[in-house]
Chains A and B, each alone.
Chain A
Amino acid sequence: MIRHNLDVSTSFAQKLSVPLKARGIETLQLNVGSLCNLACKHCHVEAGPQRRERMTKKVMAQCLHIVQSHPISTIDITGGAPEMHADLPWLLQECAGLNRRLIVRTNAVILLERGYEYFIDLYARHNVEVIVSLPHLDAKTTDRQRGEGVFPRVIEALRRLNDRGYGQAESKRIVNLVHNPSGAYLPGSQAGLGNHYRQTLKEKHGVDFNQLFCITNMPIGRYLHYLHETDNYADYMNALIGAFNPLALEKAMCRTTLSVAWDGSLYDCDFNQMLGMTTNHGAPEHVSAFDFDKLSRREIVTGNHCYGCTAGAGSSCQGAVI
């Protein structure tokens, strides 16, 4: 991965009156690899069928030991398509035994693929919280971003999840959706979009879900290439900078999250991971040297891409922060 800093009028560092610091580790996010059955245009991981990075079982075991030994409340598994990692069933079983909040970020399409259908039952058995990407309610718009035919397959996967109790009233099985803009603009209000998603998905498709998370597209990876290719880069960065919100900075997810890459290296977030910007400022850079106290109060490594998490109502892996 290439380190880079984006060309902007006012650097993110200039916006910080004091260094940004972590205030704990509530979530350990594991990126188990970049292999994916899709190649979405907005993917900051640049995941796809050709990618071969995958987390070793040794790193997974180190992560499990870390969670077991510390008050970390959430395990958040992402990729790529995590289901394409052969050790995911084992990892889920081990995680479930730790009795923490357990999340898997799925593209949902994989749940219909031959050889992967059993994951819905596996998720249900372990009460895994499932997070599904559904950028737009318009099938054509979603398919433009995620690939031909993706929208109806996501709807079908959501129906199957609903059949297992996911997204149903009085059920502990949670399925949350992710909306992100299908172009060079910022997401609207999470509450308004959430209501619109809920009403439309129920009326048109008979599908239920728990919460909608609105996530701002980060100007890195494939999305950054798109911004440059379409001459939208300057406008987009100006929109992010113009919408900078100190309250969103206060609640930025990096302050309570630690991201682990497939090779065990540590990052302040999944975005820094894709940019190759490991934890720094005296904090350990690898799971093998994990130090809860040092990492809990580490100084966050920032760059101009961080404007993506501090615009408007803010953006995190759990959606808006305000």
Chain B
Amino acid sequence: MGDYYEQKDLADFANIGESSPELGKKYFDYYGEAMKPGALTEREKSLIALSVATTQKCCYCIDAYTNQCLSLGISQEEMMEAVHVGAAMVAGIVLAHSTQMRKIIKKKEM
């Protein structure tokens, strides 16, 4: 993998707007608004983010949101439950797509 996915690259995330500052600023403004406590608490939002991070296999996000969850006093059990929600969703989504397979089989088989 060479230099891909180095842990220190996470710190560079703040610079993603360097080639397009306006879009970068809009993204970070949106990100900040979406993540701040609202009808959902910071804890709930962090667990959702952790679940998405693992299903999307983003090692930067997993690093950032595991630390964020620890900082918010979220227990290992709570974090693992959030990961299982993501895993169950992904498994369900894969299985739901077998509908296509079953439809084709039913059409093609005598």
List residues of chain A with CB under 8 Å of any chain B CB.
Answer: 136-138, 141, 179, 181, 183, 185-189, 192-193, 195-197, 238, 242
Contacts and interface: CB of A to CB of B under 8 A. Distances in A.
Contact of B43 (A141, A196, A242): A196
B38 to A, nearest CB: 12
Contacts of A141: 75
Contacts of A196: 41, 43, 72-73
Interface of B: 11, 37, 41-43, 67-68, 70-73, 75
Contacts of B37: 192
A14 to B, nearest CB: 18
23 contacts: A136-B73, A136-B75, A137-B73, A141-B75, A179-B73, A181-B71, A185-B70, A185-B71, A186-B71, A187-B71, A188-B42, A188-B68, A188-B71, A188-B73, A189-B42, A189-B72, A192-B41, A192-B43, A193-B72, A193-B73, A196-B41, A196-B72, A242-B11
Contacts of A187: 71
Nearest to B37: A192
A136 B75 CA distance: 9
Given A189-B42, A192-B43, A138 B72 contact: no
A193 B42 CA distance: 10
Contacts, number: 38
Contacts of A137: 73
Contacts of B43: 192, 196
B70 A183 contact: yes
User: What are the 7 closest A-B residue pairs judged by CB atoms, nearest first?
Assistant: A188-B71, A188-B72, A138-B75, A185-B70, A192-B42, A185-B67, A185-B71
A189 B73 CA distance: 10
B5 to A, nearest CB: 16
Contacts of A238: 11
